[in-house]
Structure 1
Amino acid sequence: MAASTAAPCYDAPEGVDVRGRYDREFAGILTRDALDFVAGLQREFRAAVRYAMEQRREAQRRYDAGELPRFDPATTLVREGDWTCAPVPPAVADRTVEITGPAEPRKMVINALNSGAKVFMADFEDALSPTWENLMHGQVNLRDAVAGTISFRDAARGRTYELNDRTAKLFVRPRGWHLPEAHILIDGEPAIGCLVDFGLYFFHNHAAFRAGQGAGFGPFFYLPKMEHSREARIWNGVFQRAEKAAGIELGSIRATVLVETLPAVFQMNEILHELREHSAGLNCGRWDYIFSYVKTFRAHPDRLLPDRALVGMAQHFMRSYSHLLIHTCHRRGVHAMGGMAAQIPIKDDAAANEAALELVRKDKLREVRAGHDGTWAAHPGLIPAIREVFEGHLGGRPNQIGDAAGHEGASVNEEDLIQPPRGARTVDGLRLNVRVGVQYLAAWLAGSGSVPLYNLMEDAATAEISRVQNWQWLRHGAALDAGGVEVRATPELLARVVEEEMARVEAEVGPDRFRKGRYAEAGRIFSRQCTAPELDDFLTLDAYNLIVAHHPGASPCKL
């Protein structure tokens, strides 16, 4: 009998179809039991997720009709109640500086864990392009990191990367509720991306945290893109089901929620209340928050943003958001985490590098004085400066949870949180949005979700700001300053700017790299989204199909 030529297959349970490329290493993650666990999560919670996504759309329809976000009168008792979340686990009491980065490539994971940060947030969301290869290699990397066995041999440099004796605590950020995983079908439907990310990681690694990795607590997570406490309720149910299935104590899993949507800032108490057994606090996801401000008020011509470079923490609505988050977290006994320092070292210009570091120090001093317990960095080179600022202020304490810090947030009201930002709108701002948006999208389509551009580490959040700000300006015909001359934002102006900025990008990256990359495609997609009659909810959701088409990862398989 002739030998079979069929490709090997993943051992999937009934109702689960894995369409991603087969790899023996990936098969160690996509085991039958692990896939069955993920499928169980999807079957139990998919109806609730669908309802939550429809409620997001319904809320946006109300905002488009003129309604403003507000605190919910129905949950006044939750906001005014005298309750607290479960005590902070000792293993993660000190989170003064956290580094973020994608879960793949492998060397980056090792460097982040060795960086000297207190926490490494390994990302399956904004900093990771969700190709099949990236997602599965990321799961392999994190399994090996938790086990302490991760290493990487860089043949070109003749160097092996391994973990130090002391490493950062590992937190994992799965994708948002809105993103599918097209390579895994459950009962004929694409899997919910975040349940794949969470489920595979939890299934393979929870036992290591019981054995000492998290001093009896964990695994630890960051939860992105939520808009309402009903979405936190789903996560709490997921955690409870996972803990029960694993036979571990209720409340072992802990998660920090990124407050990175405008609707969520009005739901912070409610979100913490839903997750109170599993909460590890809230984080100011400030770049996505700016993106959400534009998206929420997309139909409001009186709330146009100025140039994105001017929308910082000095803006009243941003400062109010930070103060209210700190006040809320400390009142409930959990961490209030600060925002991202996106700067990266400038190697060939010492003066410019020092100037960038000074901006980071000032930003972090503002955060710690306001009451934040820790903050984020995008690059290991920033960590010594940030630690010096936070540890110098804290004086040996791990956090400020028990202090009076953050009292400014007690007086923040609804109008503070939605006050329109002030500043100029310029053609140069339009140009920068195009340049950053196109280059980031080109990298994302090619498989890289964390991209250094103009001395900043960009991820999907900053590309989203670029996209929605251009869309908002065009939609409402914003007046833009063009070197002292006022012009209107129009599709014709954008077309000219895109053509000119594409030529500039080609000159910066070089004709050969431009030709081999996906820049032209990215330019077309970005232009289309900026001029679309209706604003797409997420750049990544629209572009995901192009990733699947370009990186299908599929292989024929017969049993």
Structure 2
Amino acid sequence: MSTSAPTHRVRVLAAPGDRHDEILTPAALDFVGRLAAAFSGRRRELMKERRRQAIRLAAGAPLDFPLATAAVRADPSWRVAAPAPGLGDRRVEITGPPDRRRAVNALTSGAHVWMADFEDATSPTWDNIVGGQLTLLDAVERRLDFTTEEGKEYRLATIMVRPRGWHLTEEHLEFDGGAVPASLVDFGLYFFHCARRQIDAGYGPYFYLPKLENRYEARLWNDVFVLAQQLLGIPRGTVRATVLIETITAAVEMEEILHALREHSAGLNAGRWDYLFSLIKTFGHRADVLLPDRAAVTMTAPFLRAYTELLVRTCHRRGAHAIGGMAAHVPGQDRAAHEAALAVVRVDKEREAEDGFDGSWVAHPGLVPVCREAFDGVLGDRPHQIERTRGDTEVDAADLLPVRHVGGPPTEEGVRTNIAVTLRYFDAWLRGSGAVALYGLMEDAATAEIARVQIWQWLRHRVVDRETVLRLLDDELAALGAEYPWAAVDEVRSLFERNALEPELPLFFTPDAYTRHLVRHAEAA
């Protein structure tokens, strides 16, 4: 690609920062601009279709596998691309934000894959976004410290990058008079700087794709990959991407999503926390889709079993990896609590391995050995179990909805916990931290979303009264202020009220909070 005369100018509206010029080069910005010119219009139309689909489902339209793509599902002949270098064995994947300290911990944790998360685990301050790209560049260039005190170099995990979802924009970059889609910023900057370097190192540019709702959004990503490879002279099909099935509408289009990405697909992941969030967001108006305390909704619930079994069957039928959900426990100092947490994680990972998953996620390096042992016990020396096609599994669309009894009504303690987690996460997010250890769990934007939409759903269906919520809100705000004197209590309260207590539920807390609190243009700075 010629870089001497940029034709698609992207303007940086933020103040310059340390080493930002290494990432925000004219050629890199031109590359992002070419992607924005090609795909911003389609992305806007797909966001409109999301809203239309949400209205249809809220009005009572049935959720079902698409009739228009029945032939794709019925055709046994097509399969996704073979695993790319470094993605054959994925039995343990660790996730986290791309800051330097956690990058080193993740890459040297013994996990097979590190997923650098710009989506749920990153508060999208401009410094975090550009700093994350610098971390990835330094990791690929081996400029991070990957040796022990004795001089022994660690085995490093394969890097996968999760860009922000299609619903988000990057307001520190301007193209054609508007903000650049955040997905294209995160993808484009990493791809421009690191794709060729990763190929030269024997790997490739690998991604996780979040928040997809249908096959059209997957097709858009595939076209982004095709153009990006063409612009940089990289062979078509070099990119690999795993899609997180974390929305209920994507759950009924798993095969179509794999088909749309088949030359670039690296499988599907059971994004369990966002999946629960999506269920409430999509069907929160229905009294028969009412969930109890978050802790009471386990992966053994029938509707979640249907979801995971369908995912494994779909992936293996098409030769793709099926990756299990997040273990969010954080090992603590209390030995009894630590052992109890490891026991919970062990049972969960053993269930996934026995169900046919090829690997799974953890949020903390201390959980890597537990996850590895669970999958070693089933996989042995095999890199995966894709040959296990789970032909015994039959799942209807109705099986994916939690209309059966999955637990009792919410408890006051459950309401308090949701409020406490939401407030503390919001405070951390506003201060630039997107992955926060709270009450023994690693909380990120996905878990905070569940906590706040559950409050909204319980209030809507009057299983919790507003006076109780407001009383607990006051209690927990006071506790937050006492625990963290620097906390922005008034901003946190306002953010909670807008996102959990209003009659209409905001689909995500992040876009509004980002615009109000995290955007810092150069003139304002």
TM-score normalised by the chain length of structure 2? 0.95
1:211 counterpart residue number: 200
1:523 deviates by: 2.4
In the alignment, which of 422, 440, 447 is matched to residue 406 of structure 2? 422
1:554 counterpart residue number: 522
Change (3 A) 1:161 1:379: farther
Say yes or no: does 1:533 pair with 2:503.
yes
Aligned pair count reads: 518
- For the 8 Å contact 1:232–1:274, the answer to whether it is kept is yes
State the alpha-carbon separation in 1 of the partners of residues 510 and 6 from structure 2. 28
State the alpha-carbon separation in 1 of the partners of residues 183 and 379 from structure 2. 35
Say yes or no: does 1:53 pair with 2:37.
no
Say yes or no: does 1:494 pair with 2:469.
yes
State the alpha-carbon separation in 2 of the partners of residues 160 and 519 from structure 1. 43
The structure having more radius of gyration, on CA atoms, is: 1
State the alpha-carbon separation in 2 of the partners of residues 466 and 26 from structure 1. 35
1:218-243 Cα offsets, whole Å, 9 max, x none, are 20000000000000000000000011
State the alpha-carbon separation in 2 of the partners of residues 136 and 437 from structure 1. 26
State the alpha-carbon separation in 1 of the partners of residues 190 and 401 from structure 2. 37
Say yes or no: does 1:261 pair with 2:247.
yes
State the alpha-carbon separation in 2 of the partners of residues 505 and 314 from structure 1. 34
In the alignment, which of 89, 93, 102 is matched to residue 94 of structure 1? 89
1:431 counterpart residue number: 416
1:188 deviates by: 1.0
Alignment map for 1:149-188 (pairs within 5 Å)? 149-151=143-145, 164-188=153-177
Unmatched 5+ stretches in structure 2: none
- For the 8 Å contact 1:86–1:277, the answer to whether it is kept is yes
One-letter amino acid of the counterpart of residue 248, structure 2: L
Partner of 1:411: helix, strand, or coil?
coil
1:294-344 Cα offsets, whole Å, 9 max, x none, are 001022122111111111101111110000000000000010000000001
One-letter amino acid of the counterpart of residue 422, structure 1: V
Q: Which runs of 4+ in 1 moved over 4 A?
A: 11-14, 159-163
State the alpha-carbon separation in 2 of the partners of residues 418 and 241 from structure 1. 37
Say yes or no: does 1:357 pair with 2:342.
yes
One-letter amino acid of the counterpart of residue 305, structure 1: L
1:195 counterpart residue number: 184
Report the more deviating stretch, 320-329 or 491-500. 491-500
- For the 8 Å contact 1:132–1:553, the answer to whether it is kept is no
Report the more deviating stretch, 300-309 or 321-330. 300-309
2:358 counterpart residue number: 373
2:103 counterpart residue number: 109
Report the more deviating stretch, 177-186 or 539-548. 539-548
1:305 counterpart residue number: 291
1:161 deviates by: 12
Report the more deviating stretch, 272-281 or 296-305. 296-305
Change (3 A) 1:556 1:444: closer
- For the 8 Å contact 2:430–2:518, the answer to whether it is kept is no
State the alpha-carbon separation in 2 of the partners of residues 520 and 352 from structure 1. 34
State the alpha-carbon separation in 1 of the partners of residues 154 and 374 from structure 2. 25
- For the 8 Å contact 2:8–2:33, the answer to whether it is kept is no
Partner of 1:291: helix, strand, or coil?
helix
Say yes or no: does 1:134 pair with 2:118.
no
Alignment map for 1:15-30 (pairs within 5 Å)? 15-23=9-17, 25-30=19-24
Change (3 A) 1:13 1:111: farther
2:314 counterpart residue number: 328
Partner of 1:213: helix, strand, or coil?
coil
1:246 deviates by: 1.3
State the alpha-carbon separation in 1 of the partners of residues 284 and 317 from structure 2. 33
State the alpha-carbon separation in 1 of the partners of residues 224 and 218 from structure 2. 10
Unmatched 5+ stretches in structure 1: 1-10, 154-158, 479-488
One-letter amino acid of the counterpart of residue 529, structure 1: N
Alignment map for 1:474-485 (pairs within 5 Å)? 474-478=459-463
1:486 counterpart residue number: none
Change (3 A) 1:163 1:283: farther
One-letter amino acid of the counterpart of residue 439, structure 1: R
CA RMSD of aligned residues (A): 2.0
Partner of 1:516: helix, strand, or coil?
coil
1:155-202 Cα offsets, whole Å, 9 max, x none, are xxxx99999341000000000000010100001100100100000000
Partner of 2:39: helix, strand, or coil?
helix
- For the 8 Å contact 2:108–2:146, the answer to whether it is kept is no
One-letter amino acid of the counterpart of residue 84, structure 1: R
Report the more deviating stretch, 16-25 or 286-295. 16-25
1:388 counterpart residue number: 373
- For the 8 Å contact 2:90–2:359, the answer to whether it is kept is yes
In the alignment, which of 23, 36, 39 is matched to residue 42 of structure 1? 36
Report the more deviating stretch, 498-507 or 183-192. 498-507
2:452 counterpart residue number: 467
State the alpha-carbon separation in 2 of the partners of residues 76 and 204 from structure 1. 40
State the alpha-carbon separation in 2 of the partners of residues 90 and 183 from structure 1. 35
State the alpha-carbon separation in 2 of the partners of residues 90 and 320 from structure 1. 31
- For the 8 Å contact 1:182–1:548, the answer to whether it is kept is no
Say yes or no: does 1:80 pair with 2:74.
yes
State the alpha-carbon separation in 2 of the partners of residues 161 and 450 from structure 1. 31
One-letter amino acid of the counterpart of residue 241, structure 1: L
State the alpha-carbon separation in 1 of the partners of residues 39 and 387 from structure 2. 36
1:248 deviates by: 1.4
TM-score normalised by the chain length of structure 1? 0.89
Say yes or no: does 1:519 pair with 2:489.
yes
1:8 counterpart residue number: none
Report the more deviating stretch, 144-153 or 51-60. 144-153
1:102-149 Cα offsets, whole Å, 9 max, x none, are 012x11111110110000000111000000000011000100101111
1:506-534 Cα offsets, whole Å, 9 max, x none, are 45x2xxx2x31223421231123211121
Report the more deviating stretch, 462-471 or 515-524. 515-524
1:339 counterpart residue number: 325
